[in-house]
Amino acid sequence: MQTINCRLGTSLRDKVDAADRAVMSRLSADSSPLLDRFLPALSRSADFFALWIGIAAALAASEDNRGRRAALRGLASMVTASTASNVLAKNLVHRPRPAGEVAPARRPGRTPVTTSFPSGHAAAAAAFATGVGLEMPALAIPVGLLAAAVGLARIVNGVHFPSDIVGGWVVGVSVGMLTLRWWPLRTGRDQGPGNQPGSSGP
């Protein structure tokens, strides 16, 4: 039974690797302003969480207390997911980075020094989007699409396989949802007069 399980696991990994390489080969062969300029620039903007910190700052500066809570939940989720992926998961998996060359314009702003699976950028992006979306559902789709684009950009950069991105998204969404265990959402009744949007309450 153990031998059969090992064979099945090896077969699945081989299929995932083949699919990863096929997607990356296709993206490397294509050229467009989206692939050559926009996505690489988006990837660089997410380095050191800069993109997400900027969005959080805008939310926190609003007069809507929901925006402040969205910023806090998003940032807390992001930092936790980044730690879980970069410190814990990567040290367990040790997957090498893709070896293929990409055009210089597509390369990331800094060369990654960690292993490949899961993507820390994708985990942080998905966690931030999940945290923000929980507090402000109206932002779930736009911020979620931005997070998805950052994940795609890391493939275009040539620094991650597609399955690394999927793994990062799973980590990020899971962490974002887990914040509900220790930080429940506020209902309208829980907010009270001092916590309504535009009020002077904390």
Q: Report if residue 147 sits inside a domain.
A: yes
Q: Report if residue 36 sits inside a domain.
A: yes
Query: Which helix (H) or strand (E) segment is 182 a member of?
Result: helix 162-182
User: Lowest-confidence range among 53-57, 103-107, 125-129, 160-164?
Assistant: 103-107
User: Lowest-confidence range among 85-89, 150-154, 189-193?
Assistant: 189-193
Which pLDDT does position 201 carry in this prediction? 38
Local structure of residue 118 (DSSP, 8 states):
S
Give the list of residues 6+ apart from residue 155 with CB closer than 8 angstroms, or none.
Answer: 23, 24, 27, 161, 162, 165
pLDDT in tens, 111-121: 788 999 999 99
- CA distance to 37, 158, 194, per residue, from 171 (Å): 28, 21, 35
Per the structure, the count of domains in the chain is 1
Q: Which residue has the tokens 């959402």?
A: 185
Helix 162-182 and helix 140-156: axis angle, to 10°? 150
Looking at every residue in the chain, the average pLDDT score rounds to 88
Q: What is the CATH number of the domain that holds 41?
A: 1.20.144
Pair of tokens at residue 56? 């959080």
Q: Report if residue 201 sits inside a domain.
A: no
Query: For 148, how many CA atoms within 13 A lie in the half-sphere containing its CB?
Result: 6
Query: For 32, how many CA atoms within 13 A lie in the half-sphere containing its CB?
Result: 7
Amino acid at 147: A
Tell whether the model's pLDDT for residue 146 goes beyond 80.
yes
Q: Report if residue 30 sits inside a domain.
A: yes
3-class state of residue 186 by DSSP = coil
Amino acid at 69: R
pLDDT in tens, 27-84: 888 889 999 999 999 999 999 999 999 999 999 998 889 999 999 999 999 999 999 9
Q: Report if residue 68 sits inside a domain.
A: yes
DSSP for 140-158, please give it.
HHHHHHHHHHHHHHHHHTT
| Percentage of the residues of the chain whose pLDDT score is greater than 70 | 88
Which pLDDT does position 198 carry in this prediction? 43
Domain region containing 143: 2-187
Highest mean pLDDT among 2-6, 16-20, 164-168, 193-197: 164-168
Highest mean pLDDT among 13-27, 29-43, 163-177: 163-177
